[in-house]
Amino acid sequence: MALRLRYFSQPDMLKQFRSEILLRILLTAKGFFAVRGFSVPASDDGEIDYALLASILADPDEEMPGDLVDGLHLISELGNEACFDDLLQMAGEADIPVDEEVTPQDLAALIWLTKPRLLQQKAQESSFERRKTFESFAPADPAMVIDPGQLPQDLGDLEAALREYFRGKKKGRRCRVLRKDAPGAVHFYVQHGQACRREPSVKGEESTCTFFRPERTDMVILDTANPELRVNSASAPDMRKYRELFGLHLFGSAETFRYADKYTLEPLRRLGQASLECSDFPGLESARLTELEMDWGGAFNNTQVEKADDVFMALEIRRAAIPPQPPLTRAKIKVKLKGVKKPRVLSLVAGNKSGYPRGEEAALFEDWLRAREFIVYGKRAYEEAA
């Protein structure tokens, strides 16, 4: 795992840590640093050779203890102002004493030194929020209401069923399901093994081979505001199994959620530029269609793609329009948020797959897409599916 060098390759960055906290980090691998010619001071009164320490940390190798590598990576990822409030809450819940002069870097290091698993979970959650591609499954009952308080607290049966499933796929015996409640949704993280791998590796000056089983964490979201199940997984069979098992163990039926088209691109054809109106959403500044894919089909699987900085403007200059016949299969829309310099790209596929930023922005985008009728839901979804 590569370290972020801006934290550890410069002596000035290392000096930003409180000396006693930095020493506690170094003492976890005292023997390794001794071999590299760096003597860890016995107390925080001792002088730290920051230049030598930075040169060692800037060039990690296979001899560096794995726990130290992971710890420094986590501290560099989460020891920042954006994560400070979350880290502070985490420390309070774990009874980790924190004074008023603590910095984000110090706080992340204190949590790692005391309860490293908490920092690992936070890093995983942060990476999951950046995942963009989800497949959605609609409730079989259009009037379904999801009450987070009524969901089972004990996920043991769900874990056991998933563990048996992954064992059958030769992906190992470990499987854990972690729950985290969020505004308008309940997030589940499914940690499981993958197929074993054997790769050439280097140990010192020797060429060897490393055999291991990688771990993956999939994400399953129960949307409580607009009832549906969303899944992020690299495996289509796993996605189908999540639909069945989460429905069965959380709601009593494997068919609680079903396949149904969630997204349609027809508003682009029906309303043109007006389909991207966003003046009624205070958080949105503008929206532009930058790519549109049309499937003409036929013996040669003809696909037509319109691509421009603004497709509707480009069509208007050519005195053209979206033709009435071929199905619209894929679109990319650049949406500008107010106060945010970089526009967000929404990738929509006709059906039940979407790709756009998650977290708080996702709720805003979903509300906008519903208002513009790119999302069909509730009674309309079942009428159109029929």
Tell me the sheet residues that pair with 337.
284
Q: Given 202, 230, 258, which residue is the final one in a domain?
A: 258
What pLDDT, in 10s, does the model give residues 255-275?
A: 999 988 888 999 999 999 999
Residue at token pair 């682009």: 268
Residue pair 261/382 in contact (Cβ under 8 Å)? The answer is no
Residues 354 and 272 in one domain: yes
Residues 121 and 145 in one domain: no
Residue pair 332/319 in contact (Cβ under 8 Å)? The answer is no
Q: If you write DSSP's letter for every residue of 105-146 in order, what string do you get?
A: HHHHHHHHHH-HHHHHHHHHHHHHHT--EEEEEEESSTT---
> Does residue 2 register a pLDDT over 80?
no
Residues 284 and 247 in one domain: no
What pLDDT, in 10s, does the model give residues 18-34?
A: 888 888 888 888 888 88
What pLDDT, in 10s, does the model give residues 50-101?
A: 888 888 887 777 778 878 888 888 888 888 887 888 888 888 888 888 888 8
Return left, alpha or beta for 376; rule: phi > 0 is left, psi -120 to 50 is alpha, else beta: beta
Output the pLDDT for position 130: 52
Which helix (H) or strand (E) segment holds residue 63: the answer is none
Residues 145 and 226 in one domain: yes
Q: With a threshold of 0.75, does the pTM exceed it?
A: no
Separation of CA 372 from chain center: 26
Residues 207 and 287 in one domain: no
Residues 77 and 172 in one domain: no
Q: Containing domain of residue 137, as a range?
A: 133-258
How much is the average pLDDT of 205-220?
86
**Contact residues for 292 (Cβ-Cβ < 8 A; gap 6+):** 265, 268, 305, 306, 307, 311, 322, 328, 330, 331, 332
Number of domains in the chain: 3
Residue at token pair 């004493």: 97
Output the pLDDT for position 385: 41
| SS3 (DSSP) at 184 | coil
Q: 190-212 b/e with 16+ CB inside 10 Å = b?
A: bbbbbeeeeeeeeeeeeeeeeee
Residues 337 and 324 in one domain: yes
| SS3 (DSSP) at 92 | helix
Residues 99 and 148 in one domain: no
**Which residue type does 16 have?**
Q
Output the pLDDT for position 360: 65
Cβ neighbour number for residue 360 with a 10 Å cutoff: 12
> Does residue 287 register a pLDDT over 80?
yes
Residues 236 and 273 in one domain: no
Rounded-to-integer distance, Cα 288 and Cα 336, Å: 9
Residue pair 349/329 in contact (Cβ under 8 Å)? The answer is yes
Residues 219 and 277 in one domain: no
Residue pair 107/39 in contact (Cβ under 8 Å)? The answer is no
Length of the chain, in residues: 386
Residue at token pair 């197929």: 195
Residues 138 and 254 in one domain: yes
Question: What pLDDT band is residue 177 in, cutting at 50, 70 and 90?
Answer: very high
Q: Given 128, 155, 185, which residue is the final one in a domain?
A: 128
Q: Given 93, 128, 163, which residue is the final one in a domain?
A: 128
> Does residue 162 register a pLDDT over 80?
yes
Tell me the sheet residues that pair with 180.
187
Residues 217 and 275 in one domain: no
Rounded-to-integer distance, Cα 33 and Cα 278, Å: 57
> Does residue 6 register a pLDDT over 70?
no
Cβ neighbour number for residue 83 with a 10 Å cutoff: 19
Within 13 A of 293's CA, how many CA atoms are on the CB side? Answer: 13
What pLDDT, in 10s, does the model give residues 344-385?
A: 988 888 887 766 655 567 778 888 998 999 988 643 443 444
Output the pLDDT for position 126: 62
